[in-house]
A and B are shown apart, each in its own frame.
Chain A
Amino acid sequence: MTTTTLGFAKIIQTLQRSKRGYVKGSYEDYLHGILIRQRDEVFSFIARTAVNKLNLFEPRYLKDLAYTYALLEYVPKQLDDGSTLFNHIAEKSIPKLEKFNPQELANTVWAFEKIKVPHPTLYEKVGDYIVTRQQLNDFIPQNLANIVWSYAKAGVSHPKLFTKVADHIVSLEHLNNFKPQELSNIVWSYVKAEVSHPKLFTKVADHIVSLEHLNNFKPQELSNIVLM
């Protein structure tokens, strides 16, 4: 079910990227008709149906479901009992956080922020769980950047999480795997969250400063140095 839904979301994203209209009767026009013009109906139906089955959802399906709505930036309407799909996703996710892998953790908090449905308890529990982990070696740069960005943007304070993430980044041998946007979002997040971590800032700055030096080397020259 989440696979289908995520598929719908991706099709909609692709259709929305095209600013031109579609030829009447074409394949794209047809998909546009059912998925975009009836988007609210489709995704409200999916929300109502999914809620009753969430107990069966493994972490990655919970994450995919939240991620789908976030991709579309579509906030599911309130259900009949006044709750929302995202409340239910959070409630079902919290008890099994230790089964979430880093990407699932990162994408889940990202999705809640992206769609602007704050859930401080989920954020608190995800933060607490990450803090209790021995190390963060299985978090890729994008996971780390998305996590601190989500907390900073949502205005949810979790200093221990920020310290844990920063300590981890500082402990890395180098920051070559971090993309520019990830570096800038990370430093921005610490400022926004008002968490001071001078060593992190020094590490990031030193890395950026070092980039241009390296730019003077051609890869061939670098490999020569290694061989010498």
Chain B
Amino acid sequence: MADHIVSCEHLNDFKPQDLSTIVWSYAKAEISHLDLFTRIGDHLVTLTHLHDFNSQALANTIYAYAKAEVSHQGLFGKVADHIMLLDNLDDYTEQNVSNLAWSYHKAGIIRQDLNDKLIGLAMDRKFSTKRLEKLDRWTSEDTIENLEGNEHNGGGSVVALEDDNNESNMEDGGLEDDDPDVSTPEDLSLLTVVQLKDRLRKLGLRVSGRKHELISRLNNHFKVQDGSDE
């Protein structure tokens, strides 16, 4: 409990990239954790804006919710609104556009304005015919209506529409182009004395002494029992 007070974090500490990577990973690992998706979705909806999300993080986030079959209306709405407000979608790759269209389609959320914008972009950028055909299917209102009709009849066309190709297409996108970077391993000498003392305090160690003493106290704390360090 005491530790928890010291390092008490909340979702605000998570950067867009962290949140996007987390939901993407759970969706990809096919581990369902509705509470996690709901919590993160709710958190994103409460943000004043999504400007800190780059195109890849947004596409991956939305893709994750669709793949995990967690329909979070608020999140899908917020992301669509955000994209609609953007002056240009220059940062959006063909894969991002495709993933977004597929995700809204898969989640059964129709945003015709977003669809029009994505299709417009695809035409401008001269996406491949194959990609355009898919986009057209995912963004066509008719298709969705048919799909819903069939659902009422207990038909299986929902599955039929989501052919294997679509899924594997998504897999290409994933996070490949935007792997998370890892933080540079700790080099304590780069920290300031104030930062070092803060670390020591959190570990319940003494905070007095010169900088090199603080560093060696921290190092000693994490030293292997049989280590060769001094």
Q: List residues of A whose CB falls within 8 A of some B CB.
A: 10, 58-60, 67, 71, 98-103, 106-107, 110, 138, 140, 142-143, 145-146, 149-150, 153, 174, 176-177, 179-185, 187-188, 190-192, 196, 198, 201-202, 204-206, 208-209, 211-212, 214-215, 219, 222-223, 225-226
Q: Is the interface of A mostly helix, strand, loop or mixed?
A: helix
Instruction: Determine if B85 is an interface residue (Cβ-Cβ < 8 Å).
Output: no
**Complex Cα–Cα for A225 and B4 (A):** 13
Write out the residue numbers on chain A whose beta carbons fall within 8 Å of the beta carbon of B160: none
A209-B21 in contact (CB<8A): no
**6 closest Cβ pairs, A-B complex:** A215-B10, A187-B25, A205-B36, A184-B18, A180-B14, A184-B21
**Complex Cα–Cα for A225 and B226 (A):** 40
**Which among B43, B224, B228 is the interface contact of A212 at CB below 8 angstroms?**
B43
Contact with A along B12-31 (1 / 0, CB 8 A): 01110111011011101101
Instruction: Determine if B180 is an interface residue (Cβ-Cβ < 8 Å).
Output: yes
A140-B182 in contact (CB<8A): no
Instruction: Determine if B49 is an interface residue (Cβ-Cβ < 8 Å).
Output: no
Q: How near does chain B come to A70, taking the closest CB pair, in angstroms? A: 8
Count how many chain B residues have C-beta atoms less than 8 Å from C-beta atoms of the other chain: 49
Contact with A along B22-66 (1 / 0, CB 8 A): 101110110101011001100100000000000000000000000
Instruction: Determine if B177 is an interface residue (Cβ-Cβ < 8 Å).
Output: no
Which residue on B lies nearest to A142, using beta carbons?
B186
A188-B175 in contact (CB<8A): yes
Write out the residue numbers on chain B whose beta carbons fall within 8 Å of the beta carbon of A153: 179, 182
Instruction: Determine if B3 is an interface residue (Cβ-Cβ < 8 Å).
Output: yes
B182-A201 in contact (CB<8A): no
B4-A180 in contact (CB<8A): no
Q: What would 27 A/B residue contacts be, using CB atoms closer than 8 Å?
A: A10-B190, A58-B228, A59-B228, A67-B187, A101-B228, A101-B229, A103-B186, A107-B185, A138-B225, A140-B222, A142-B185, A150-B182, A153-B182, A174-B4, A180-B18, A184-B18, A188-B179, A190-B25, A191-B29, A201-B31, A208-B39, A208-B40, A209-B35, A212-B39, A212-B43, A222-B1, A223-B5
Contact with A along B181-215 (1 / 0, CB 8 A): 01111110010000000000000000000000000
**Complex Cα–Cα for A196 and B30 (A):** 10
Instruction: Determine if B153 is an interface residue (Cβ-Cβ < 8 Å).
Output: no
A177-B3 in contact (CB<8A): yes
Write out the residue numbers on chain A whose beta carbons fall within 8 Å of the beta carbon of B19: 184
Instruction: Determine if B227 is an interface residue (Cβ-Cβ < 8 Å).
Output: yes
Q: How near does chain A come to B196, taking the closest CB pair, in angstroms? A: 15
